[in-house]
A = this chain, B = another copy of it.
Amino acid sequence: MPILNAFYAQSGGVTSVINASACGVIETARKHPDRIGRLYAGRNGIIGALTEELIDTGAEPAEAIAALRTTPSGAFGSCRYKLKSLEKNRREYERLIEVFKAHGIGYFFYNGGGDSADTCFKVSQLSQSMGYALQAIHVPKTIDNDLPLTDCCPGFGSVAKYTAVSLRECALDVASMMDTSTKVFVMEVMGRHAGWIAASAGLAGVGRDDAPHVILFPERVFDAEAFLERVRQTVERVGYCVVAASEGIKYADGTFVADAHAGTDAFGHTQLGGVAPALAGLVRGKLNLKTHWAMPDYLQRSARHIASKTDLDQALAVGKAAVELALAGANAVMPVIRRTADSPYRWKIETAQLDAIANREKRLPKSFITRDGFHITAAARKYLAPLIRGEAPPPYGRDGLPEYVTLKNAAVKKKLPAFDLA
């Protein structure tokens, strides 16, 4: 077998465990020097491949690569840069193959969500049609948990854990002061199209009166009257009400709730929206209850300090499996997580064909949302519960801060003319 070089890139929104997948790819590749020569990483994702800004991962010592397990966000840089159809972006696709050819790259590992799975598939197709031998393997990653065919997506379990833990904590805060202070607390969570993260907030409580009392999913139309009535009833019964709201909830006419309530300030600037302040404003305006709200934004997807051990293990495993698949001759595939038992939770890595994954979003099943639309069902709990299990804290320095690694990210000498990004 010839020795081929490999290319790895991170794509789209980063997570607290995407670097663990990078670690899985790199450590596994290093075990096969007879098959894999150099492993390059794209600086800022696929853009690094287009502009030939390659990083030599071989310059990183083993300890630095191992430390990727405990370092959040994208160690090589990621990007939002979607390659569309082969027709529309043919120039870019061809450039990728050119760069791969120039650097002897026979393995392409692309670590991202639905869009990058699509790109990965198209790169594989084009390389075949151009007669260039390339094995393209997609490594799943997305906090949105919306990839099809896999039981869950690396990155999601840690956001889910962050969300459930934070909600449990702030609910205790609200509960302890409800008589004289905040009665309604709204926590906004990510997930513009799918309510997986919102659903994970539901794990914070168990009993009927535990927080969160109301969950708002993008899968359900937002009905302000019904919402306000539920909040009112909850405050009456429990004394306070904690709401977890997905950023993506919409009114019946399709307007995002965040946008509907965006206003203009005295300076003429558009108020940057947010579901949480919009809902808090509604509650205060209509129910005259003291409200507070939180919007963790990027904090939720970078919170490596509270990552899920299950999620971390799976992120590592898909990275490792991607390399093993490549060495076994696979192409246009993605390692996926298959759940084999709920209790005790067991999972294994299987393989899915990329043509069945690209551009298909997995939204929250109807059976996961209660009939009233405001909470998760037992089926949702059974699915979600294992994903937040286990702790995997990063090492802490004597300064009390997590020790996150910064790689050297040494540049590889360019061999091709410059390429202008469209």
Contacts and interface: CB of A to CB of B under 8 A. Distances in A.
A266 B270 contact: no
A134 to B, nearest CB: 24
Nearest to A16: B169
| Chain A interface, DSSP helix/strand/loop, else mixed | mixed
A222 interface: no
B303 A401 contact: no
A11 to B, nearest CB: 10
A168 to B, nearest CB: 6
Nearest to A402: B165
B293 A265 contact: no
A297 B293 contact: yes
Given A44-B179, A293-B297, A389-B398, A302 B261 contact: no
A333 interface: no
Nearest to A167: B299
B170 A302 contact: yes
A33 interface: no
Contact of A404 (B168, B185, B266, B402): B168
Interface in A208-265: 260-265
Given A72-B169, A179-B77, A400-B161, A272 B280 contact: yes
Interface residues of A, number: 90
Q: How many copies does the complex hold?
A: 2
A265 B270 CA distance: 10
Contacts of A291: 272
Interface string A316-345: 000000000000000000000000000000
A281 B274 CA distance: 12
Which of A166, A266, A267, A298 is packed against the most chain B CB atoms within 10 Å?
Answer: A298
A301 interface: yes
Interface of A: 10, 13-14, 16, 44, 47, 71-75, 77-81, 161, 164-166, 168-170, 172-177, 179-182, 185, 187, 203-204, 260-272, 274, 276-278, 280-282, 284-285, 291-299, 301-306, 308-310, 385, 388-391, 393, 396, 398-402, 404
